[in-house]
Amino acid sequence: MDLHPFEILRKPIITEKSTDLQEDGRYVFEVAPSATKHQIKWAVQQAFDVRVTKVNTMNRRGKTKRYGPRFTQKKSIKKAIVTLAPGDSITIFEGV
């Protein structure tokens, strides 16, 4: 791999729904738009020293918003939901 794991994994997505998924061993990350499922799996395993069993990806298109007479485009992102092997976990919040 020519990319660093944290170039593929941009940031964790922390929402109420993603927090509920963490109880099942599934974690949500914003990833690089060009990243494949194999690269995402490799990056999570290298960065957090866990075993990944499944990777689901989705592209969220940026919404068009209107501010007065102007229209702007919000950023499009690619999300990955990573399922870990039973017994493995990632500590996203330190001490919470």
- The reply to whether 75 falls in a domain is yes
CB of 76 closer than 8 Å to CB of 25: no
> The domain spanning residue 10 has which CATH number?
3.30.70.330
Mean pLDDT of 17-42: 94
Domain that holds residue 77: 5-84
pLDDT of residue 94: 53
pLDDT of residue 93: 61
> What is the C-alpha R_g of the chain?
15
Mean pLDDT of 75-86: 96
pLDDT tens track for 42-71: 999 999 999 999 999 999 999 999 999 999
Task: Report how far residue 10's alpha carbon sits from residue 29's, in angstroms, rounded to the nearest whole number.
Answer: 7
pLDDT of residue 15: 93
- The reply to whether 91 falls in a domain is no
Tell me the pTM.
0.86
- The reply to whether 92 falls in a domain is no
- For the chain, what is the domain count? 1
